[in-house]
Structure 1
Amino acid sequence: MNTVQLRQKIESQLNQLSPERLTLVSEFLDSIQLAETIESSSLRKLSPIKRGKTAKDLLKFAQTWQGDDLEDCLNFVQETRSETQF
């Protein structure tokens, strides 16, 4: 079901509800919108996790590559990466 069809279905359902039930739906939608606003604003306030300050700190995780798909993995990364936006 695409977005237009879904909106039409919801509109049809809303047209059949009593005023009391419409009030409940409206309150529910308000709570969803509030939750989305809180989630998006709180995510922006999070500071990055800092576990180490240099690349040297990552060396303890470095190991020898095992497998024969290194080139495939590198190609995948190059094909699917996007530019960073700040």
Structure 2
Amino acid sequence: MNTVQLRQKIEKQLNQLSPERLALVSEFLDSIEPVEPIESSSLRKLSPIKRGKIAKDLLKFAKTWQGDDLEDCLNFVHETRSKTQF
């Protein structure tokens, strides 16, 4: 299948998707877009990582779970995690 045929096939498939599934496709495409390289000079502008933070400081990154697979994800974590070695 050449590029033109593949694009036609994808366009036909996109036209048949529900708005919810179309949003998922858009999110996927966003995730595989090439990331522009970061200039090394811009890295110098970043503030340093501060150590000694407490868990309360991480709450600003917390969000609510979206989806119905929380139990499956938790089971996967329990099945695949390794024991801690000190």
Alignment TM-score, normalising by the size of structure 1: 0.39
Q: Which structure has the larger Rg over C-alpha atoms?
A: 1
Alignment TM-score, normalising by the size of structure 2: 0.39
Higher share in helix: 1
